[in-house]
Amino acid sequence: MNESALSPAGSENAAGTLLEARHIVKIFGELRANDDVTLKLKPGEIHALLGENGAGKSTLVKIIYGSLQPTSGELYWKGEPVTVANPAAARDLGIGMVFQHFSLFDALTVTENIALALPPGLDMADLAARIQTVSADYGLPLRPDALVADLSVGERQRIEIVRCLLQEPRLLIMDEPTAVLTPQEADQLFVTLGRLAREGCGVLYISHRLEEVKRICHDATILRHGKLVARVDPQQETAASLANLMVGSEVAAVKTAKGRAPGEPLLELVNFSMATDDPFGMSLKNINLTVRAGEIVAVAGVAGNGQGELFAAISGESVTADVSAVRLSGEACGGENITMRRRRNAAFVPEERIGHGAVPNFTLSENVVLTHHAIGEGVVRNGLINRLAAHAVNAKITEMFDVRKGTPDPEARALSGGNLQKFVVGREVVLQPKILVVNQPTWGVDAGAAAIIRQALIDLVRGGSAVLVISQDLDEIFEIADRIAVISRGELSEADPAEDMSLERIGLLMAGAHEKANQVGETATTA
C-alpha cells in the first residue's frame, strides 16, 4: 500500500469547500438524533465520520444524501446554500452513496441494478460496456450480466461503488465499507479511494475501524449522542485516543485468558457435510472442528460463506442423517433438535439479535423463557411459566451485563442494538453452559458493549467451558481467540493457534487458499 498516494490533494485550494453542513438538527419524536452538527469537507479529502452506534452518523449522511430532511440547519454545496429534497437531487449535485446495507436487488443483474440508479433512456448494451470499462479501470472487476444473488459481498459492494462512479460523483459517501471485506479486498478499496481523492473527489468515510481511519483519512469529525464532540486530524491521534473521543470515557481493555492448557474436547464436527437446498445458500463440505474445554475457537470469514449454515448445524436448527458427525461432550447428537442439545448443557446465540435471537414484541423475561424453558432455574414448571423465575433471570442478566433500559422488563424491540446484544448473549451466559456457540457476538455494537460481551466469553472459558465464536471482525478474533479457523465457500480451514496466524494469512484463507486445489481457480475473484 502506497501511503504517500493518499496525501490530501485538495489542500492547495484551501478556499474551496465542497460540502458544508451547518448546525444540523434532526429530531425523531423525543430523540435528538443530530444536535447542532457541523461538518466541512474539501475536494480531494477523505473525511472520516466517527461515532458509536446511535451517535447520529447515519442520520447525518442521510440528510446529506436527501433521504431525510433536517429539522433545522443548512447545507452548502461548493459554497452555495442548497436543499437536497431527495436522493435524486443529491445525485444531480454529484453526491453518490455506498450504503452499509446495500441497496441492491438480488433478482436483477449487475447492469439492471446500475441502470436503476441512472437517468432513464440508457441503452442496456452500452451501459454494460461502460460498466466493464469503468470497473476494470478502477480495479473493481464486475461481470455486467451476473445476477446479484450469485455474487459475494465484496462483489456486491463493487456494484455500489461502480454505480456511483458512473455518475462521476464529486462526493462519495461510504457507510462502513470494509465491514464486509477481506483485508485484501479492503486494501484494494483503499487504493480506489486514494485514486478518487487524487482526482479531486471528496469522500465521506464512516467506519468503526480506527486503524484504517488513521491509515487513509485526512480529517475526522466525531459524533457522540448526536452532538459534535471533536474535529481532529486522525494522523495526530492514536486509535485509543479516537476511541475515547467516540465513547466519552476510557474503554476497558479486555483481560485475556490465553495460555491455559485446554481440556477434553466438548464440541466436535467430524467430516461434517450438509448440502443446502436454498439456491442462494452455501453447502458445507467435509468440516472438521474441535473445541476443547477452556478455549475459544474463532471461525473467521466473509459473510455468506457458510457461517449461517455452520451455526444451524451446530445448534440443531438443521439436523443431519449422519448423527455422529456432530458431537457434544463426546456424544453423537447430529439428529437432535435445538432443545435436546440445550439439555446437553450447550447454548447458542444466533447472528440476528432481533427476530432470530429475540422476539421483538415479547418482553425480556418472555424472551428468557424462549431459551430457558427446558433447562435452567425452573422458568417452566409443570408446563406453566413461572414468571417470577423468568424475572429473576432477567434481573441477573441486567446486573451482570449492564443492560440499560427504560423499565425493568420492556419489549425486546425497545432496547438499542448494543443493549439487546448484551441481553441475548447474557441470556445464555447466565446458564454457565459447558459449550457456547456465538455467531457474530458484537456485530454493529458499540465499543463499550463489545468489551463487556468479549469479557463474558473469556470469563466463561476460564471456568472450563468451550466457546466457539463465528465472527467477521478480525480485531475481535485476535483479541479473544485461542485458535482461529477460516471458512470459505463452505469449507473450513484447520484451526491454528492465534499466534501463528497473521492478517495476510487469514486473508488468503478467506479467499479460498485452503480449498481443494481444483477449486482455487474459480474462487480467485478478489483480484
Partner 1 sequence: MGALEAVILTIITASTPLLLAAIGELVTERSGVLNLGVEGMMIMGAVCGFAIAYTTGSPLLGVGAGLLGGVGMSLLFAFLTQTLMTSQVATGLSLTLLGLGLSGLIGESFTGLPGIKLNAIDIPFLTDIPFIGPILFGQDILVYFSFALVAIVTYVLFRTRTGLIINAVGGNHHSAHALGYDVVKVRYACIAFGGACSGLAGAYLSLAYTPQWIENMSSGRGWIALALVVFSSWLPRRVLIGAYLFGTVWIMGLYVQAMGVAIPAQLLSSLPYLVTIVALVMISGNKTLTRINTPACIGQPFAPER
Reduced to 3 states, what is the DSSP secondary structure of residue 172?
strand
State the nearest-atom distance from the C-beta of 96 to partner 1, in Å.
11
Q: Name which of 107 and 321 has its Cβ closer to partner 1.
A: 107
- In the complex, which residues of this chain contact partner 1 (CB under 8 A)? 62, 67-69, 86-88, 91, 99, 101-108, 112, 115-117, 120, 147, 149, 277, 279-280
Q: Name which of 105 and 233 has its Cβ closer to partner 1.
A: 105
Q: For residue 98, what are the β-bridge partners?
A: 174
Q: Name which of 309 and 476 has its Cβ closer to partner 1.
A: 309
Q: Name which of 98 and 257 has its Cβ closer to partner 1.
A: 98
CA distance 100 to 1: 24
Query: Which amino acid is it at 108?
Result: L
H or E stretch covering 398 = helix 387-401
Q: Name which of 101 and 381 has its Cβ closer to partner 1.
A: 101
Q: Name which of 59 and 442 has its Cβ closer to partner 1.
A: 59
H or E stretch covering 349 = strand 346-349
- CB atoms under 10 Å from CB of 146, counted, come to 14
State the nearest-atom distance from the C-beta of 379 to partner 1, in Å.
33
State the nearest-atom distance from the C-beta of 58 to partner 1, in Å.
11
Per the CB < 8 A criterion, the answer to whether 510 and 302 are in contact is yes
Q: Name which of 117 and 230 has its Cβ closer to partner 1.
A: 117
Which DSSP string corresponds to 64-128?
Answer: HHTSS--SEEEEEETTEEE---SHHHHHHHTEEEE-SS----TTSBHHHHHHHHS-S---HHHHH
Q: Name which of 361 and 502 has its Cβ closer to partner 1.
A: 361
State the nearest-atom distance from the C-beta of 110 to partner 1, in Å.
13
CA distance 43 to 11: 8
Q: Rounded to a whole number, what is the largest CA-CA distance in the chain?
A: 76
State the nearest-atom distance from the C-beta of 277 to partner 1, in Å.
8
State the nearest-atom distance from the C-beta of 102 to partner 1, in Å.
8
Q: For residue 499, what are the β-bridge partners?
A: none
State the nearest-atom distance from the C-beta of 421 to partner 1, in Å.
22
CA 256 centroid distance within chain:
23
Helices (H), 226-286: 239-247
State the nearest-atom distance from the C-beta of 49 to partner 1, in Å.
18
Q: End-to-end CA distance of the chain: give it in Å, rounded.
A: 15
